Structure 1
Amino acid sequence: TYVVAPAPALRLTTTIEWPHPLIGRQSGSYDITPEAFARDLAPARTFGFVREAEALRARGLAQGADLDSTLILSDDGLVGGELRWPDEFVRHKAGDILGDLALMGGRVEAHIVASKPSHQGNIALARWLRRTGQRIGGVAMDIGRILDVIPHRYPFLLVDRIIEVEGTTRIVGIKNVTINEPFFQGHFPGHPIMPGVLIIEAMAQVGGMLLLGTIEDPDQKVVYFMSLDNVKFRRPVLPGDQLRCELEMLQNRGRTCRMKGVAYVDGNIVAEAEMMARVVDR
């Protein structure tokens, strides 16, 4: 999976996992500059397994592979040579992402968090970035990206689009409120009003997108909200309204943060709150 957030320069955070004693689970974050690429990523070699080598050569592939350019792995170790870094494997995968993004033909200013990346996934990411960059007023994250990041699903997914992301400090999300929402059946019959706690929940989910976008392995994490302060409800939210949730990061201490959220309908404030949240493993 991939998560992309705007940033002043390109930064890659990559995580891989293989059931091999030399690989296991590896993660790394890299600020991409020409100097850092040459030092930290370019020397990292591709890797493969002995059991796959003959099949590849029979298909006319891997003809130029040698120990200077390729790490050959047995079931329990390395066949010849030495690792240039203990985490050479994840460094190579980060280099793969960079190489595939180069197909876009332009500079990327973003923090890309990739979990178990592949060439197929990298190319799909590059195409998505290119489409988004060409779209005037395009969304920062569509519903597909949202589903990749937060665990919520129907009937409790309360964010449809992320339309603005400012690094790790601010995010804006949209919830389209329709009469088909299941909570309107009981709140209230003949007088449908969106429950205030669900307005807060919508803000919390947008804030969760911001928080999970700053950490490694977001697909392995979930956000627990710890407290709510200064909660105020200003106006009712009705079927047909579009709820705009703006979240600002007030304080971020690793896995714990404090955010201020304001929800609007047609430019009018409908609710606001300060929230404290923590990221935990699923």
Structure 2
Amino acid sequence: MPTTPPLPRQNTIVRPGEIQGVGLHTGAEVRMRIHPAPVDTGIVFRRTDLPGSPDIPANLAHVVGTDLGTSIGQGEARLHTVEHLLSALVAREIDNAFVEVDGVELPAADGSAREFARMLDGCGLQEQDAPAKYLTVDQTFSLSKDRSEYVVAPAQDYRVSATIEFDHPLIGRQFASFRVADPSFATEVLPARTFGFLRDVEAMRGRGLAMGGSQDNAVVLTEDGVLEGTQLRFPDEFVRHKALDVVGDLALVGARIRGHVIAERPGHLGNVALAKELVARAEKKALARPILNIEQISQYLPHRYPFLLVDRVVEFEERKRIVGLKNVTINEPFFVGHFPGRPVMPGVLIIEAMAQVGGLLVLEQMENLDDKVVYFMSLDNVKWRRPVTPGDQIRFEVVVLQIRGATCRMRGVGTVDGHVVAEAEMMARVVDK
């Protein structure tokens, strides 16, 4: 009988790696060091030059800019030009890593992702004991943003096709298509360098951009060629670099992609908009197939109206992770007296809803549920990021940090349309009724 192939597992690196240089836009010297990370961490950047070394997760909720590069941030911490490293990580199927950076921008290296890929080769690849997360495209759709046009179609693996057009003798109209998991992606796409026009340099520097740009880390185009001393690595290096950027920006979905992305005139603004659309469609698909509906939730939780604050559960990994949804409507009883002229969901109830989702995760592993109840013992690092108003849908993701007997420590994050609205660490204990 045929056997079912094992599911792909998450990966991290075996040993740390390091690269340093100047930032393409800031021109500042910077050092970057990458470390292994546990399962389900994702890619998390850490600004080691700032007090407390704040973390910036590489996901859509933390995108703060797309001007000539993709920038992410959390609080006052910012990090620019993350897309080249992210593209190299995707190509190597590295799902989890901590990336320490002692400046506001990643090193430009040679303007491509080649040096990042070489560094990762030296780090080694470590398979982890958890299935890889996938975002699978099962229906063709299109999207337009600014001048960028995209069509995304189902595919067995991850493929990116890109077309660009510039009124320049070395570019004109170029098209290229690549399978991201193919080993050739590392040799045919990752070495493609960023490019720009000499006529635009003065204006960019007037805006504080391209301060570290040079022939060492970019292809600089003159009116009819390139600056003397520059040799193209590929005749179509320009479109290859755009494909590199697409893969790096779409890494912000936080999962491996199965689908064919066809991009016409892609740019960072459009790439991020496409990433958001991919996530929104995946969440909508999950909504159509809840793991637990409200009737089933009522069998687990003792709460009842008006304090049952979870509408459905859409993802669940035993003893690891759960995703639950709360639909906020104007009919909620707390809106009658809580800022009635400007309805805002009380922050304590947002955390209560998060705790109920976490309670479902804890109770699922227990036998004789009729005799058990979950009591929360502590809350730490509680933060409210944005107001929640009628019409919002809060997506709560709660992950287990530690389980000891009947006590569980968890971390929860609530998002609305990809933006973080609240987060907290929680400790709960299962007790007999």
Q: Which TM-score applies when normalising by structure 1?
A: 0.51
Whole-Å Cα distance in 1 between the matches of residues 402 and 422 of structure 2? 21
Contact residue 318 and residue 364 of structure 2 kept, 8 A: no
Query: Who is 2:414 aligned against?
Result: 263
Residue 273 in structure 1 maps to residue 424 in structure 2: yes
- Please report how far the alpha carbon of residue 238 of structure 1 lies from its aligned counterpart in structure 2 after TM superposition: 0.2
Whole-Å Cα distance in 2 between the matches of residues 173 and 259 of structure 1? 14
Amino acid at match of 2:428: A
- Please report how far the alpha carbon of residue 136 of structure 1 lies from its aligned counterpart in structure 2 after TM superposition: 9.6
Q: Which stretch shows the higher mean deviation, 268-277 or 135-144?
A: 135-144
Query: Who is 1:13 aligned against?
Result: none
Q: SS where residue 183 of structure 1 aligns?
A: helix
Unaligned stretches of 5+ in structure 1?
A: 1-7, 9-134
- Please report how far the alpha carbon of residue 281 of structure 1 lies from its aligned counterpart in structure 2 after TM superposition: 1.3
- Please report how far the alpha carbon of residue 279 of structure 1 lies from its aligned counterpart in structure 2 after TM superposition: 0.7
Residue 158 in structure 1 maps to residue 309 in structure 2: yes
Query: Who is 1:168 aligned against?
Result: 319
Residue 219 in structure 1 maps to residue 366 in structure 2: no
Instruction: Return the match for 1:147 from 295, 298, 322.
Output: 298
Query: Who is 2:102 aligned against?
Result: none
Whole-Å Cα distance in 2 between the matches of residues 136 and 192 of structure 1? 25
Contact residue 150 and residue 219 of structure 1 kept, 8 A: no
Whole-Å Cα distance in 2 between the matches of residues 227 and 188 of structure 1? 28
Amino acid at match of 1:279: V
Amino acid at match of 2:330: I
| 1:18-37 mapped onto 2 (5 Å cutoff) | none
Instruction: Return the match for 2:341 from 190, 212, 215.
Output: 190
Whose helix fraction is larger, Structure 1's or Structure 2's? 1
- Please report how far the alpha carbon of residue 232 of structure 1 lies from its aligned counterpart in structure 2 after TM superposition: 0.5
- Please report how far the alpha carbon of residue 212 of structure 1 lies from its aligned counterpart in structure 2 after TM superposition: 0.2
Query: Who is 1:122 aligned against?
Result: none
Contact residue 163 and residue 172 of structure 1 kept, 8 A: yes
Q: Which TM-score applies when normalising by structure 2?
A: 0.34
RMSD (Å), alpha carbons? 1.6
| 1:1-282 mapped onto 2 (5 Å cutoff) | 138-282=289-433
Whole-Å Cα distance in 2 between the matches of residues 227 and 242 of structure 1? 26
- Please report how far the alpha carbon of residue 219 of structure 1 lies from its aligned counterpart in structure 2 after TM superposition: 2.0
Aligned residues: 149
Unaligned stretches of 5+ in structure 2?
A: 1-6, 8-285
| Runs of 4+, deviation exceeding 2 Å | none
- Between the two structures, name the one with larger relative contact order (CA 8 Å, sep ≥ 6): 1
Aligned sequence identity (%): 68
